[in-house]
Structure 1
Amino acid sequence: MSDNPGPRAKVAIFISGAGTNMAALLHASRLPGAPYEVVLVASNNPDAEGLALARLEGIPTFAHSHKGVSREAQDEAMEAAALDAGAEYIALAGYMRILSEGFVKRWEGRMLNIHPSLLPKYKGLDTFARAIQAGDSHAGASVHLVTSELDSGEVLAQLPVAIAPDDTPEALAVRVRIAEHQLYPRALADYVSRGSDPGYLLARVRELALALPETHEKESHGAPGFRVGSAKTGKFFAYFSGRDHGRGRIALLVKTSGVDEMANLVETQPDAYFKPPYYGASGWVAVILDRPGLDWDHIGEWLERSWRAVAPARLTKLHDAAEMFR
């Protein structure tokens, strides 16, 4: 967890029962440097024990029974409570309901779940019995993003737990639960912090930049830069700037049409752009990466536009032709 005291991500936790993983997330959120705070604990079961625990700890709660209502109506009620609480992320912690496709889509990339197996093994139920029956050496837990396909979203973190020769599903479940309580808070903290992690942001920029034709990475004044063309004659079309350059923000430097456009972007959208030292006089602009709600499609568009500004005509023509057949 980071020791930086910046704004903390707001998380709603959905539960159906005792809420032990919820408690692990909640207590971890109160450790120094925790990058998230729990703003709501909500349940489809008004009698869930975890609701009482959350109230005891001073956390707002919400309950809406799923009995007699459609899946969509249940999700709408839970989602409304999360939004009213200001939640930016949802953590499912023993929430025993299949979610509607629309709800999952609206929270794509912002909803996490923990599953008691080493995914992609043993999606669904009875994971411990299946692992023992298969003769596996380890069971474990996985934290993953929630998608419309059950237990199939990107795995963010895993923790293996050894299976004893004489293990039972019940005994194994107890040990895996302890592992879950260690894993989930760490995985959630890492995930909500990624937007201020230079390593994560550089990796995303690198993936987008190097997907453009005939590009390569080359360091420039100690910072990663991206060029189009040969190693000898290539031209830079983007630079990655860490907090040591400019305003203490993580940024992507790209070419605009000139100083006037750069100045207009900086003046009208100061939360998204700033004039980079040295480069600004040439019409480059710094696109701030460590900000909430960053649109990576927009970053990709900036990279392609900047690439086009310096790429040879033969490459831009080939790229346009390839795009037509996508």
Structure 2
Amino acid sequence: MQKAKVGVLISGRGSNMAALLYAAKADDCPYEIVLVAANDPDAPGLALAAAEGIATFGQSHKGMKRAEFDAVIDAQLRAAGADYVALAGYMRLLSPEFVAGWENRMLNIHPSLLPRYKGLDTHQRAIDAGDAFAGCSVHIVTAELDDGPVLGQTPVAILPGDTADSLAARILIAEHQLYSRTLAAFVTRERQPDWLLNKVREIALAQPQAEETLSHGMPCFGIAKGKKFAWVSRDHHGDGITALLVKTTAPDEQASLIEMDPDIYYRPAYFGDEWIGIRLDRGENDWDHLATRIRASWRQVAPKKLLGLMDIAEEF
């Protein structure tokens, strides 16, 4: 199994970083930590990571503009080969440029049940509000503070007499468990059939007059009351493959694509030469290319009148 490479950013002791690091030691963990970086060269978590054989980088942000410092960290992450970034107690607001550069590839763990209590002092705010539960959330990082899509949460009961410190100690236990399993699920999402189907569905149903149906046990997409232009095969006939099936655009295209890259393209059973199977379960999908293939397939079955209207609209 090829493991996803993760860079972790910390500012202090790095207890969540340590939880990710130790989870990554398991043979079946789908990620590995390739760098731990901090905005404080004396952050205790750096020493822990170094002792575990992980590459580290520490530099103070003081005296540097936000975007300038983020560019330094970005260069270190990319040099380490990171595919994803995990924020683990990183006490720095990130520049829009940095966030955009890691769009949909950067996670954060926050000590509240988002969207409640964004920002700081989350434990005391939950206690003061009289909440029965506090907790923690893992979310995708966006330009807005603690505002990205939530991937996982763990509620933690607030006990009578709890202080911010006593509540924080229990929530930290939950954080250590939640972050590693959520990160593992996130880096393998493009191998999960349901996620892949939803991604194809989003693209296919964006085509004019498209509808989804079920045919031969497979989700498929076609023009309303018309021909089909895309299918999603999920372990069809027990082949163990999750794939997109679309129409070819030339008579010999199926054979040429399979010859070019047989690990991705294949001849789908019972579909003939006019269709090509494109594997989606390898975790390395070019979704721009797949969207182009879906649109091209849609154009082959769309009524000429509809195509004419689309072409006119695109001219404007």
Query: TM-score, normalization: structure 2?
Result: 0.92
Q: Select which of 274, 294, 298 maps to 1:283.
A: 274
Deviations 1:93-115 (A, max 9, x none): 00111111111101101111111
TM-fit CA distance, 1:284: 1.3
Aligned to 1:240: 232
CA 144–323 in structure 1, closer or farther in 2 if over 3 Å, else same: farther
Q: Does the CA contact (< 8 Å) of 2:135 and 2:171 recur in 1? A: yes
- Aligned partners of 2:109 and 2:193: how far apart in 1? 26
TM-fit CA distance, 1:117: 0.9
Aligned to 1:311: 302
Q: Select which of 185, 188, 210 maps to 2:183.
A: 188
Q: Select which of 76, 92, 95 maps to 1:97.
A: 92
> What is the letter of the counterpart of residue 251 of structure 1?
A
Aligned residue pairs total 316
> What is the letter of the counterpart of residue 288 of structure 1?
R
Q: Select which of 38, 43, 47 maps to 1:48.
A: 43
Is structure 2 residue 135 aligned with structure 1 residue 140?
A: yes
- Aligned partners of 2:30 and 2:313: how far apart in 1? 42
TM-fit CA distance, 1:204: 1.4
Aligned to 1:261: 253
Aligned to 1:72: 67
CA 322–124 in structure 1, closer or farther in 2 if over 3 Å, else same: farther
TM-fit CA distance, 1:12: 0.8
Greater mean alpha carbon deviation, residues 160-169 or residues 266-275: 266-275
> What is the letter of the counterpart of residue 2 of structure 2?
P
CA 242–138 in structure 1, closer or farther in 2 if over 3 Å, else same: same
Deviations 1:57-87 (A, max 9, x none): 1111111111222222221221122112111
CA 245–194 in structure 1, closer or farther in 2 if over 3 Å, else same: farther
Is structure 2 residue 212 aligned with structure 1 residue 221?
A: no
TM-fit CA distance, 1:249: 4.1
Is structure 2 residue 24 aligned with structure 1 residue 29?
A: yes
> What is the letter of the counterpart of residue 276 of structure 2?
V
Greater mean alpha carbon deviation, residues 207-216 or residues 248-257: 207-216
> What is the letter of the counterpart of residue 34 of structure 2?
V
Aligned to 1:209: 204
- Aligned partners of 2:30 and 2:212: how far apart in 1? 32
Is structure 2 residue 106 aligned with structure 1 residue 111?
A: yes
Aligned to 1:38: 33
Greater mean alpha carbon deviation, residues 254-263 or residues 182-191: 254-263
Structure 2 stretches of 5 or more lacking a match?
A: none
Q: Does the CA contact (< 8 Å) of 1:44 and 1:63 recur in 2? A: yes
1:122-137 superposed matches below 5 A? 122-137=117-132
CA 305–78 in structure 1, closer or farther in 2 if over 3 Å, else same: same
TM-fit CA distance, 1:188: 0.3
Q: Does the CA contact (< 8 Å) of 1:229 and 1:311 recur in 2? A: no
Partner SS, residue 11 of structure 1: strand
CA 21–303 in structure 1, closer or farther in 2 if over 3 Å, else same: same
Q: Does the CA contact (< 8 Å) of 2:188 and 2:283 recur in 1? A: no
Q: Does the CA contact (< 8 Å) of 1:115 and 1:143 recur in 2? A: yes
Partner SS, residue 135 of structure 2: strand
> What is the letter of the counterpart of residue 236 of structure 1?
K
Deviations 1:146-204 (A, max 9, x none): 11111111111111111123221111111111110110001100000001111110121
> What is the letter of the counterpart of residue 307 of structure 1?
W
CA 285–245 in structure 1, closer or farther in 2 if over 3 Å, else same: farther
Query: TM-score, normalization: structure 1?
Result: 0.89
- Aligned partners of 2:10 and 2:19: how far apart in 1? 13
CA 142–205 in structure 1, closer or farther in 2 if over 3 Å, else same: same
Greater mean alpha carbon deviation, residues 53-62 or residues 306-315: 306-315
TM-fit CA distance, 1:286: 1.9
Q: Does the CA contact (< 8 Å) of 1:276 and 1:284 recur in 2? A: yes
Aligned to 1:161: 156
> What is the letter of the counterpart of residue 254 of structure 1?
V
Aligned-CA RMSD value: 2.2
Structure 1 stretches of 5 or more lacking a match?
A: 1-5
CA 237–70 in structure 1, closer or farther in 2 if over 3 Å, else same: same
Partner SS, residue 286 of structure 1: strand
Aligned to 1:3: none
